[in-house]
Amino acid sequence: MVSPFEVLEVDEDADDATIERAYRERVKQAHPDQGGTLEEFQLVRRAYRELDERDRSGGGNGDATDPADIDLDDDDGAGAEAKPVRVEFLDYEVLGDYGWSLDDEDLFRKASHADLDDDEHGRLLVQPDESLLEGAENRGFGWPFSCRGGACANCAVYVVEGELSQPANHIMPDDLAERGFRLSCNGYPVTDELKIVFNVKHRAELDDLILPPGPFTRR
């Protein structure tokens, strides 16, 4: 039997901050681009989701199932199958047209009330075995990219809500990552829902991280 606590390598009495730190570390280790497997990556996601649901239900009181009693090796258990992630997206170029900012708390509400094209604002499902960029492409969207290997910021997105994995990247400075900038080419959604602004390669702070147009570049 393996419990969510064992997967995240934390004690059963670990507080939320400790669990959050452990999750961020384990999801990097399990990332397919870091030598992990999709199965391990999904297991880490599921473990964190189980503990997050415990917190939402009031810390496991009442009739809630104790996460320590959940066997994540049990394929018949609830949530054993990884589900697609719901992603709401917005094109960064739209912000300039409307005078919006990445810091707007109501950014996506404003977008939903604007008359935007489907490729400028919308929703898509990203499958568990897809990176964010792959999910967009497989649903027919032409988001920017270049190297596909985490060595440039042409595919960069800004995470407004949710979490997008950031494996050991070769380009994104820590200060920008802490602000919410991620690479979509090797970023896998790790929360059930995600809100992102794509096409942020136009941001001034990313200028030095952009590759020039090439035969494999979509700009």
For residue 117, give both structure tokens: 């094209």
Same-domain pairing of 99 and 177: yes
Residue 113's domain comprises 85-209
Mean pLDDT of 80-93: 86
Q: Is residue 135 part of a domain?
A: yes
Residue 66 neighbours by CB under 8 Å, 6+ apart: 60
Same-domain pairing of 61 and 93: no
Residue 148 has pLDDT above 80, yes or no: yes
Beta strand 193-198 with 121-126 is unpaired
The residue ranking higher by pLDDT, 172 or 213, is 172
What secondary structure does DSSP assign to 46-94, as a single string?
Answer: HHHHHHHHHHHTTTT-TTPPPGGG--TT-TTSTT-S--PEEEEEEEHHH
CA 212 to chain centre: 26
**What does pTM read for this prediction?**
0.72
Q: Which of 21, 42, 69 is the last residue of a domain?
A: 69
Same-domain pairing of 116 and 175: yes
Same-domain pairing of 8 and 110: no
Same-domain pairing of 98 and 61: no
How many domains, the chain? 2
The residue ranking higher by pLDDT, 41 or 162, is 162
Segment 34-75, tens digit of pLDDT? 778 777 877 887 888 788 777 666 554 445 556 666 666 655
Q: Is residue 123 part of a domain?
A: yes
The residue ranking higher by pLDDT, 37 or 150, is 150
